[in-house]
Structure 1
Amino acid sequence: MSMKSAALATAAFVLASGALAHGNEGHAGNPRKFDASRVEDTAFGREGDPARATRTIRVDMSDAMRFTPAELTVKRGETVKLVATNKGQVLHEMVLGTSVELQKHAELMKKFPGMEHDEPHMAHVKPGTSGEIVWQFTKAGEFQFACLIPGHFEAGMVGKVTVK
């Protein structure tokens, strides 16, 4: 095998391993348990303790490839519970992040369309069900949420979170 083929095979394995590492713990119907020792800071905040959520924000997802509401405003430091309800007939998801991170993840989803998620900033939601994200927005700025199912992001299934 040539060095180039070996490098490509290794890259494919690493990407596939990451894709397959997403388990079922955070999926709708199987809520993830909060573990303060596993919380990691990101550019857009960190996993929140459900016991400290100050409010619940409900967001609907539809097969028109839209979130309702598509714009959210939260206070810096606030912990909120986002309840994403799939009102459509196809799988949707809600993923929080920066615009750059979401774009990169959307590209990865095109390569691995069956990839499922088990990150605290993601909710993979089957039709007719709801998923939850409890998030503490630790930094001021504008962030996004999106459905990264192939074709959905490209169709405009993106929303904005403004942290003041």
Structure 2
Amino acid sequence: MMKKTLAILMLGAVPALAFAAGGHGGGHDLPAHGGSGHDMAAMSKTSAAAGQPGDPSRASRTIELLMDDTMRFTPSEIEVQPGETVRFLVRNAGRLPHEMVIGSVAELKAHAAEMREAPGLEHAEPNMITLGAGQHGDLVWQFDKAGTVDFACLIPGHMEAGMVGRVRVG
């Protein structure tokens, strides 16, 4: 009886310890810019080709971006000029959580695979915004170089369902 009680207490303590430790607990609970604790440092460092976080006071224009449960971004194709800083006003019109993550196709696919393996990951980086149903927020990004920059929703299954977009810089 004592071992059974101890086992039940231990099982009850594990989620509490995980929550207290931060990091990977709780799923996408979605404050306006995601949760905390997931280290996307490798993605942030390699995203230099995609640009860099922008200074909100230097945004030359605002682009409204809609996310919804059809697993689409509207618009999904955007054109900007090299060096332009853009404020994305992102709105989740769906009932499911969605996010916009800016990066290269390789970075987005690698991070999507990581999210599938650990769907409860919480993360907040300057190249992304995660929103719950009905939420809106903004992401300011400077597009440094001519070329193509991609974005996607990396919540498991969303990118695979077609929730991707492209920014043409040039």
Match of 1:46 among 42, 47, 52: 52
Distance 1:148 1:127 in 2: 16
User: What secondary structure sits across from 1:105 in the alignment?
Assistant: helix
Give the alignment's TM-score, normalised by structure 2. 0.74
In structure 2, what is the equivalent of residue 124 of structure 1? Answer: 130
Say whether the 8 Å CA contact 2:33–2:124 is kept in structure 1.
no
Give the alignment's TM-score, normalised by structure 1. 0.77
Distance 1:142 1:29 in 2: 24
User: What secondary structure sits across from 2:48 in the alignment?
Assistant: coil
Question: Larger Cα Rg: Structure 1 or Structure 2?
Answer: 2
In structure 1, what is the equivalent of residue 10 of structure 2? Answer: none
Q: Tell me the percent identity.
A: 50
Q: Name stretches of at least 5 consecutive residues in structure 1 with no aligned partner.
A: 1-16, 31-38
Do structure 1's residue 28 and structure 2's residue 28 form an aligned pair?
no
Distance 1:56 1:134 in 2: 9
Say whether the 8 Å CA contact 2:127–2:141 is kept in structure 1.
yes
Pairing 1:148-159 to 2, within 5 Å after superposition: 148-159=154-165
Higher helix share: 2
The verdict on how the C-alpha distance between 1:131 and 1:112 changes in structure 2, with shifts beyond 3 A counting, is farther
State the one-letter code of the partner of 2:110. K
Distance 1:29 1:106 in 2: 18
Say whether the 8 Å CA contact 1:27–1:131 is kept in structure 2.
no
Q: Name stretches of at least 5 consecutive residues in structure 2 with no aligned partner.
A: 1-20, 35-43
Distance 1:136 1:107 in 2: 26
Distance 2:33 2:153 in 1: 19
The verdict on how the C-alpha distance between 1:131 and 1:116 changes in structure 2, with shifts beyond 3 A counting, is farther
Pairing 1:59-78 to 2, within 5 Å after superposition: 59-78=65-84
State the one-letter code of the partner of 1:46. Q
User: What secondary structure sits across from 1:43 in the alignment?
Assistant: helix
Instruction: For residues 44-100 of structure 1, give each alpha carbon's deviation from its aligned partner in whole angstroms, at most 9, with x where no partner exists.
Output: 100100011111001000100000001000000000001110000000000001111
Match of 2:116 among 102, 106, 110: 110
Distance 2:140 2:122 in 1: 18
Q: What is the CA RMSD across the aligned residues, in angstroms?
A: 2.5
The verdict on how the C-alpha distance between 1:99 and 1:62 changes in structure 2, with shifts beyond 3 A counting, is same
Say whether the 8 Å CA contact 1:81–1:133 is kept in structure 2.
yes
In structure 2, what is the equivalent of residue 58 of structure 1? Answer: 64
Distance 1:150 1:137 in 2: 27
Instruction: For residues 22-50 of structure 1, give each alpha carbon's deviation from its aligned partner in whole angstroms, at most 9, with x where no partner exists.
Output: xx9x94179xxxxxxxx977111001000
Distance 1:64 1:29 in 2: 22
